């Protein structure tokens, strides 16, 4: 059966944060697409006008490293977002132990991620939910950012759906401290986490379940705030931030004082990684969002001009 008289529905691809995603054929173009169904049934007035305005803006985001939003329409209490179909995602590639990455491959993946981000940041659109499974990979090895702007339109995913715990590993410290006003720097932090994950082949700031936080008061632990575990994890990796490192920190809504822990040296966390890569990484992981490197500055970092040069996308390793 056709959806909107145009899309022939095929199998379900997976359950996403906002709803089910299925494969379909666009009978108008003959192309394979991925359709994301988002439940909006409960809202009496249908999709709110702000959401529609934002979706219109997403349709105008056109860049080689951004997933193209082909179409968007309401259908039977669901909003349907039609995207170009992609074969796999970066999470699948990172997790596949048969795939070997060279430093040049890592550089290529990071370069494509930052180029996509730079384009959106120029248009003042934040991603807010960057993680390897939102970085989709096409047949030609091209990496494209998916789910752009959805977090802003449909609300922060990990507040609504508990299965979305992974997203927390990529959250910038200002978000974890409850910042209401934040900017492009949150995407830079998340991209830094992806960079680190490419280098380590496992999530860098992964909080294992039931790891008890050791740096904060019992009250906070009993309140069950798991952002605390994530902050503990970050501070263990980079040291507890001092006031002069991040002056605005103590004014953030959920700020609490953490026990001071010193930072281990970055090379000890990333042995075998080049000095250029570590310098860029440390700039992406700057605590103060105002001091954190921007995407444009990151693209100008010497890491991208020093040897080895980034692998041509068509020559990147593929999962078998």
Bind-site residues for ATP = 42
261 binds ligand ADP (CB under 6 A): no
Smallest distance from the beta carbon of 175 to ligand ADP, in angstroms?
17
**Side-chain-side CA neighbours of residue 143 (13 Å):** 32
Question: How many whole angstroms separate alpha carbon 267 and alpha carbon 280?
Answer: 13
Could you confirm whether 276 is annotated as catalytic?
A: no
Cα 226 to Cα 23: distance, rounded to the nearest angstrom? 35
Structure tokens at 106: 């890592």
C-alpha to C-alpha distance for 126 and 186, rounded to whole angstroms: 8
Burial of 42 (0-12, 13-18, 19+ CB in 10 A): exposed
Task: Give how many residues touch ligand ADP by CB under 6 A.
Answer: 17
Catalytic hit among 26, 89, 129, 229: 129
Q: Residue 133: CB partners within 8 Å, gap ≥ 6?
A: 89, 90, 91, 92, 166
Which lies closer to ligand ADP via its Cβ, residue 16 or residue 173?
16
Q: Rounded to whole angstroms, how far apart are CA atoms 309 and 105?
A: 9
In angstroms, give the least distance from the CB of 238 to ligand ADP.
26
Among 147, 187, 197, 227, binds ligand ADP (CB under 6 A): 147
C-alpha torsion sign, points 58, 61, 66, 70: positive
**Cis omega (within 30 of 0) for bond into 195:** no
* Contact flags string 114-143 toward ligand ADP, x per CB under 6 A: -------------------xx-x-------
For residue 188, the minimal CB distance to ligand ADP (Å) is: 20
User: Which single residue brings its beta carbon nearest to ligand ADP?
Assistant: 16
Under the phi-then-psi rule, with left for phi > 0, alpha for psi from -120 to 50, and beta for the rest, what region is 76? left
Asked whether 44 and 53 are in contact (CB, 8 A), the reply is no
End-to-end CA distance of the chain: 32
Binding test (CB under 6 A) with ligand ADP, winner from 55, 67, 93, 277: 67
Give whichever of 163 and 209 is closer to ligand ADP, judged by the CB atom. 163
Choose, by CB under 6 A, the member of 7, 83, 169, 235 that binds ligand ADP. 83
The one among 85, 119, 189, 258 contacting ligand ADP by CB under 6 A: 85
Name which of 34 and 114 has its Cβ closer to ligand ADP: 34
x-or-dash string of contact with ligand ADP, 8-47, rule CB under 6 A: -----xx-xx---x------------x-x-----------
* Residues making up the binding site: 42
Which one, of 246, 255, 253, 172, lies nearest residue 216 by Cα? 255
Tell me how far, at minimum, the Cβ of 157 lies from ligand ADP, in Å: 7
Chain positions contacting ligand ADP, by CB under 6 A: 13-14, 16-17, 21, 34, 36, 67, 83, 85-86, 89, 133-134, 136, 146-147
Catalogue the active-site residues.
Answer: 129
């Amino acid at each position: 059966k056709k959806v909107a008289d145009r899309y022939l529905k095929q199998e379900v691809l997976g359950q996403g944060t906002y709803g089910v995603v299925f494969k379909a054929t666009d009978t108008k173009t003959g192309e394979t697409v991925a359709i994301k169904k988002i439940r909006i049934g409960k809202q009496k007035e249908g999709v709110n006008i702000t959401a529609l305005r934002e979706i219109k803006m997403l349709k105008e985001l056109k860049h080689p490293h951004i997933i193209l939003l082909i179409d968007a329409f309401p259908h039977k209490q669901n909003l349907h977002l039609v995207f170009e179909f992609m074969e796999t995602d970066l999470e699948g590639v990172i997790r596949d132990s048969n795939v070997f990455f060279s430093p040049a491959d890592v550089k290529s993946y990071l370069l494509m991620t930052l180029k996509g981000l730079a384009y959106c940041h120029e248009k003042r659109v934040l991603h807010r939910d960057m993680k390897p499974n939102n970085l989709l990979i096409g047949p030609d090895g091209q990496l494209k950012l998916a789910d752009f702007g959805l977090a802003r339109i449909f609300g922060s995913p990990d507040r609504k759906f508990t299965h979305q715990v992974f997203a927390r590993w990529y959250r910038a410290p200002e978000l974890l401290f409850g910042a209401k006003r934040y900017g492009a720097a949150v995407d830079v932090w998340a991209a830094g986490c992806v960079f680190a994950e490419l280098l380590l082949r496992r999530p860098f700031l992964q909080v294992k379940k039931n790891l008890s936080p050791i740096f904060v008061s019992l009250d906070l632990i009993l309140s069950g705030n798991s952002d605390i575990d994530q902050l503990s994890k970050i501070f263990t990796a980079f040291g507890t931030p001092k006031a002069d490192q991040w002056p605005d920190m103590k004014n953030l809504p959920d700020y609490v004082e953490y026990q001071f822990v010193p930072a281990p040296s970055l090379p000890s966390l990333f042995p075998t990684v080049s000095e250029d890569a570590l310098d860029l990484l440390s700039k992406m992981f700057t605590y103060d969002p105002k001091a954190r490197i921007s995407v444009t500055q990151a693209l100008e970092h010497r890491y991208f001009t020093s040897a080895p040069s980034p692998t041509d996308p068509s020559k990147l390793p593929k999962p078998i």
